[in-house]
Structure 1
Amino acid sequence: MRSKTTDLFVEHRRSLVEYAASIVQSRSLAEDVVQEAWMRFDDAARRHLFDEPLSYLYRIVRNLALDGCRRRAREGRHVVEGADLVAAAVAEDRPSPEAEVVARSELRLVREAMLELPERTRIALEMHRFGGATLHEIADFLGLSVGLAHSLVVQGLDHCRERLVRRGSTSVSRRGKN
């Protein structure tokens, strides 16, 4: 069995949505406003007896619609004009074609340099840089001290860096040692 407030809401729902839409300028937002207004109205009607329930329901719709407009206006002030252009530029996470060519060339040089390393040094460097292994893990795997594992990683990095610099890779020489 439906209550009188439910009957009132169902009977006037369409006009409430149109009223809210005239304020918020969006049918879907108006639907949300009316739904929220109904929940508030129904809750209040359970606790109070209203002389003019329809007027009260319209007032709730109006207040919620205006509050929503104010909130969207406040949020709009925090958006920088052209932000979608910045977001589009940031969203494109791909390097330029020139940067790709340079990176591929550097990668080829690093691979060649790593092949020139003694096996133990190469393994230590690969485990550390590509596998994310700690110096303790490298030392355990190779049966070395942690200090020697550290030295092997540093020697491997230095060798690769020297190869890149010697071959004229300007991006590496600008970055310096890592």
Structure 2
Amino acid sequence: MSDPELQRLFARHSSSLCRYLNMYLKDHSLSMDIMQESFTRMAEFMTHSTIQDIDAYLYRVAKNLMIDHFRQQKKQQSIIISDEQWQGIPSRDKSLESVAIRDQQLKQIQQIIQALPSRTQEIFRLHREEGLTQMEVAQQLNISLSTVEKHLANALAMLIHKWKD
């Protein structure tokens, strides 16, 4: 496309294309920018190929640029976080207080478990700490599944009862 042809196309469509864009964008400056970018892309494309309907193609380029703008704007809105929002996000770093509380709770749990009968402690340890299923615990200790279930139920009942105290 020659410069005079591009100038004629610009004179014929620039204001209507800008109005078209402004209907959606509600920002005259942005509409002007996208309109100018549309003509720039048209000029670049026309140096390599021919277009049957230049007017329709121009509006299609403008619409695609506008859609790209909306996508980019939506992406940026999802990324923008205010200082107040950043402060509301919990830190992955554990505070000294929360670490101390967790350590204290773990000690209490260990004391409760140590107060259980030795067989119940062993079954509880195999199931909870070693990750064995109840059936695997029963097979390893050569006891019935119902015995394992009873010991685990007793251990959990004791943990719940003592934890409330």
Structure 2 segments unaligned to the other structure (5+ residues): 1-32
Structure number with larger C-alpha Rg: 2
Paired with 2:110 and 2:123, the residues of 1 have a C-alpha distance of: 15
Partner secondary structure for residue 108 of structure 2: helix
Check if 1:128 corresponds to 2:127.
Answer: yes
Question: Are the counterparts in 2 of residues 127 and 133 from structure 1 also a CA contact under 8 Å?
Answer: yes
* Corresponding residue of 1:50: 51
> Paired residues, what number?
128
The CA deviation at 1:149 is 0.5
Task: Give RMSD over aligned pairs.
Answer: 4.3
Provide the TM-score with structure 2 as the length reference.
0.53
Q: Deviations over 1:35-64 (max 9, x none)?
A: xxx8xx69x94xxx43798x9987665433
* Corresponding residue of 2:152: 153
Identical columns (%): 17
Q: Deviations over 1:126-162 (max 9, x none)?
A: 2222233221122112211111101111222233344
CA separation of 1:123/1:87 partners in 2, compared to 1, >3 Å: closer, same or farther? farther
Structure 1 segments unaligned to the other structure (5+ residues): 1-21, 24-29, 167-178
CA separation of 1:84/1:138 partners in 2, compared to 1, >3 Å: closer, same or farther? farther
Provide the TM-score with structure 1 as the length reference.
0.50
Check if 1:143 corresponds to 2:142.
Answer: yes
Query: Which amino acid counterpart does residue 67 of structure 1 have in structure 2?
Result: I
* Corresponding residue of 2:67: 67
CA separation of 1:82/1:130 partners in 2, compared to 1, >3 Å: closer, same or farther? same
Question: Are the counterparts in 2 of residues 120 and 142 from structure 1 also a CA contact under 8 Å?
Answer: no
